Amino acid sequence: MSHTSDSMLAAIFDMDGLLIDSEPVWMSAEAQIMKDLYGIDLVKADLMPFQGRSTLAFCEGMVKRFTDAGIVIEDLLSGLLDRMGQMITTAALLPGAEAILHWFNDQKIPLAIASSSPLHFIEAVVSRHHLPVHMFTSGTEVNASKPHPAVFELCAQRLSMPVERCMVWEDSVNGVIAGKAASMAVVAVPEKNHPTPEKFAIVDARCNSLLESLEILKVDGFIWPISRR
Selecting among 6, 14, 171, 204, the annotated active-site residue is 14
Residue 18 phi/psi, 5-degree rounding, is -115, -60
- 130 in Cβ contact with 25 (< 8 Å): no
Catalytic, 14? Answer yes
Catalytic, 6? Answer no
C-alpha to C-alpha distance for 114 and 199, rounded to whole angstroms: 21
Selecting among 6, 16, 171, 204, the annotated active-site residue is 16
C-alpha distance from residue 144 to each of 11, 54, 151 (Å): 22, 9, 8
- 100 in Cβ contact with 50 (< 8 Å): no
Q: Name the CA radius of gyration of the chain, rounded.
A: 17
Annotated catalytic residues are 14, 16
